[in-house]
Amino acid sequence: MKKIFSLIVVIILAITLVGCKKNSGDYITVGLEADYPPFNWYETSKNDYNHPIHGQRNAYVAGYDVEVAKFVAEKLGKELRIKMIAWDSLSPALTTGEIDLIIAGMSPTEERKLTIDFTNPYYTSNHVAVVLANGKYANITGLEGLRGSKGMGQKGTLYAKLVEFVGENHGATVQPVADTVPLITTSILNGGTDFTIVEKPVALGMVTADSRLKIVLDVTENIFNVLDEDREISIGIRKEYELKEDINNILATITQEMRNSWMDTAVERAGN
């Protein structure tokens, strides 16, 4: 009787595990911070372009990253789940299996590659500075114009390193980092900070949302000495992730026209 009962238990467990495995394969979970417009931002009501945040009521996320996530999930034939996770916790959430992908405006830096892997880029952008439109630094034409200014970068990003670069080479004061770009924006508007450095789409979102801000140093030259990999944005994946090749093939089908359209729309929506 014991043997029969044990056999029944084993069969039930096997069926359950197969069912769980099948269910887990039906969806793909993406992590982002939902606080990085125009790549991603938080909304409180459903509309025709945002996506629900998994596990939260009346919580949605929109932006360029969301369009990419929707596209990838659709082409993979999977249901999309998006989790809102603080920037510093994204890579740990990926490595522990809480999420399958990071689609959060993340650059594939060598430091990050020590713990996670990346797909091919899904966006490439230059870096610019953002200042007050009617402030002391509104008409600068080079990095030397930031001498004596106060700069703030975002914690755990290249932005912070670029602000440090300006401090070390062009006489700016480097302030403590902030957790998010909106916090930096508030500091600039309040006069506590003179400038920040971000990718151009982020800067466009900032100035579209508040006309008191202005983009400066928008030039084609690589004035920040940024590596190509730091201008690229890729999807973060676990090491030896089985869907990497599939996702790269999907990203290759996104035309430049689609990328431009998604970004232009995201910038416009983020500013409303």
- pLDDT score, position 125: 87
Question: Could you tell me the two tokens for 210?
Answer: 């508040």
- The answer to whether 25-124+232-270 and 127-219 have equal CATH topology is yes
261 has pLDDT over 50: yes
Whole-angstrom distance, CA of residue 267 vs CA of residue 272: 9
Note the pLDDT tens digit of each residue in 201-256.
999 999 999 999 999 999 988 899 888 888 899 999 999 999 999 999 999 999 99
In contact, 206 and 180? CB cutoff 8 Å: no
Place of tokens 């020590």: 114
Average pLDDT estimate for 100-125: 95
pLDDT of residue 23 exceeding 90: no
- b/e burial code for range 26-35 (CB count within 10 A of at least 16 → b): eebbbbbbbb
The DSSP element (H or E) to which 258 belongs, if any, is helix 256-270
CATH number for the domain running over 127-219:
3.40.190.10
Domain boundaries of the chain, sorted by first residue: 25-124+232-270, 127-219
Report which DSSP code applies to 195. B
Burial of 183 (0-12, 13-18, 19+ CB in 10 A): middle
Residue type at 104 in one-letter notation: A
Residues in the chain: 272
Mean of the per-residue pLDDT values of the chain: 91
Q: Which residues of 120-154 are buried (b: 16+ CB within 10 A; e: fewer)?
A: ebbbebbbbbbbbeebebeebeebebbeebbbbbb
The pLDDT assigned to 246 comes to 98
| pLDDT given at position 158 | 92
Averaged over 55-76, what is the pLDDT?
97
CATH fold label, 25-124+232-270: D-Maltodextrin-Binding Protein; domain 2 (3.40.190)
**What's the pLDDT at 145?**
98
